[in-house]
């Protein structure tokens, strides 16, 4: 193994459909562009019902992986199976119809209305256009279905792009920076829609730079760096691998009989200490009763990402 690969637990395990085959299997995938190695010996398996966050800096290989899964490019070496078929092959035609894709920059004809745009993509996918009205309602564009796309805001175009990705009840959703231009309320709606798709067994891959937003939304995080997969696992397991401990932060009153040595005190009596996860509960129980504003601060996905990019883990 050339990457720190962790078994998933908790949320991800409960989302899998144990009787179903993996949605995507990448085995030793590499992709060269001349001397440039865009993806280097990547193994990755995606399961039905999972939501996976794909993170990495620009040029890390995220977009190349998505293009490989879509069959837009072929690997230089290694093998890839998507919905049981090799992407880009004639045998994969039926599988491609069950893939939803939302690119980072949605390019839609400004002269067509929202309804006409969705009808165009439905015909490309050989899907009945009768279901389009429900999709437009679902992404919150019911009142703008007959407006030209040229009058849409960026967030509205993004929602229309999501609607076209949902055509045909996809089994695999590949979403590149999908919440760009969406306000907090619409982001909440967006993740609600993804939750419905996952409960129906769809696999969702989210490529995003909005790391804080992914916390609580994904089952697993795959970290890419210079074309290589450097980590793959749940947030809890990535924290273990990075050896990053949680902190207890609180505000204290003068107390007798408690040893505050080892705690770092900041302005206004705000103090904190790093604590091993296994000792967290015992440490909290031993605090005197007059402490206030107690917080448990665990390493965020931003913290973990920075650690893996530096090579600390």
Which residue's entry shows tokens 């440490």?
A: 283
* Other CB atoms within 10 A of residue 52 CB: 23
Tokens of 229: 């997969």
Q: Are 219 and 52 in contact (CB under 8 A)?
A: yes
pLDDT at 7 over 80: no
Q: Are 177 and 208 in contact (CB under 8 A)?
A: yes
pLDDT at 312 over 70: no
181 versus 102: which is more confidently predicted?
102
Alpha helix segments (H runs only) across the chain: 10-15, 62-70, 93-96, 114-124, 132-138, 154-165, 184-199, 211-214, 235-242, 280-285, 301-310
Please give the model's pTM, rounded to 2 decimal places. 0.79
- Write phi, then psi, for 289 (nearest 5 degrees): -70, -15
pLDDT at 313 over 70: no
DSSP state of 108: -
User: Per-residue pLDDT averaged across 185-194, rounded?
Assistant: 86
Q: What is the pLDDT of residues 108-148, one digit of tens each?
A: 999 999 999 999 999 998 899 998 999 999 898 999 999 99
* Other CB atoms within 10 A of residue 187 CB: 16
296 versus 144: which is more confidently predicted?
144
Q: Are 68 and 80 in contact (CB under 8 A)?
A: yes
Beta strands 292-297 and 220-225, pairing class:
unpaired
pLDDT at 101 over 70: yes
pLDDT of residue 106: 82
pLDDT band of 41, cuts 50, 70, 90: very high
Share of the chain above pLDDT 90, in %: 41
User: Per-residue pLDDT averaged across 281-310, rounded?
Assistant: 81
User: Per-residue pLDDT averaged across 280-297, rounded?
Assistant: 83
- List Cα–Cα distances, 97 to 24, 89, 92, 198, in angstroms: 15, 13, 9, 18
User: Per-residue pLDDT averaged across 38-45, rounded?
Assistant: 95
pLDDT of residue 38: 93
Share of the chain above pLDDT 70, in %: 91
| DSSP assignment of 10-53 | HHHHHHS-TTSPPSEEEEEEEEEETTEEEEEEEEEEE-TT-EEE
pLDDT of residue 203: 96
Whole-number mean pLDDT of the chain? Answer: 84
pLDDT at 55 over 80: yes
Q: What is the pLDDT of residues 216-264, one digit of tens each?
A: 889 999 998 889 998 898 888 888 777 778 888 888 766 666 777 777 7
Q: Are 163 and 135 in contact (CB under 8 A)?
A: yes
What CA–CA distance (Å, rounded) separates 173 from 18? Answer: 19
């Amino acid at each position: 193994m050339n990457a720190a690969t962790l078994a998933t637990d908790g949320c991800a395990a409960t989302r899998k459909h144990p009787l179903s085959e993996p949605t995507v299997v990448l085995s030793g995938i590499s992709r060269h562009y001349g001397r440039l190695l865009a993806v280097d010996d990547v193994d990755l398996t995606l399961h039905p019902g999972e939501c996976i966050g794909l993170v990495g800096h620009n040029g890390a290989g995220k977009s190349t992986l998505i293009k490989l899964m879509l069959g837009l490019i072929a690997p230089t070496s290694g093998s890839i199976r998507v919905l049981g078929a090799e992407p880009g092959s004639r045998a994969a035609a039926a599988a491609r119809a069950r893939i939803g894709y939302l690119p980072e920059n949605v390019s839609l004809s400004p002269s067509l209305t929202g309804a006409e745009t969705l009808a165009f993509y439905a015909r490309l996918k050989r899907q009945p256009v009768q279901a389009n009205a429900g999709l437009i309602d679902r992404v919150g564009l019911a009142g703008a279905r007959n407006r030209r796309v040229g009058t849409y805001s960026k967030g509205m175009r993004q929602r229309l792009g999501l609607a076209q990705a949902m055509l045909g009840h996809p089994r695999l959703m590949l979403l590149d920076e999908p919440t760009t231009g969406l306000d907090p309320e619409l982001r909440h709606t967006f993740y609600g829609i993804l939750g419905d798709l996952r409960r129906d067994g769809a696999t969702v891959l989210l490529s995003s730079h909005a790391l804080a937003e992914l916390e609580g939304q994904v089952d697993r995080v795959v970290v890419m760096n210079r074309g290589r997969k450097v980590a793959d696992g749940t947030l809890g397991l990535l924290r273990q691998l990075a050896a990053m401990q949680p902190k207890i932060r609180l505000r204290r009153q003068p107390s007798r009989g408690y040893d505050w040595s080892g705690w770092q005190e900041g302005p206004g009596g705000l103090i904190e200490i790093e604590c091993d996860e296994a000792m967290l509960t015992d440490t909290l129980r031993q605090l005197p009763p007059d402490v206030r504003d107690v917080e448990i601060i665990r390493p965020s996905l931003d913290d973990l990402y920075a650690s893996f990019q530096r090579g600390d883990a």
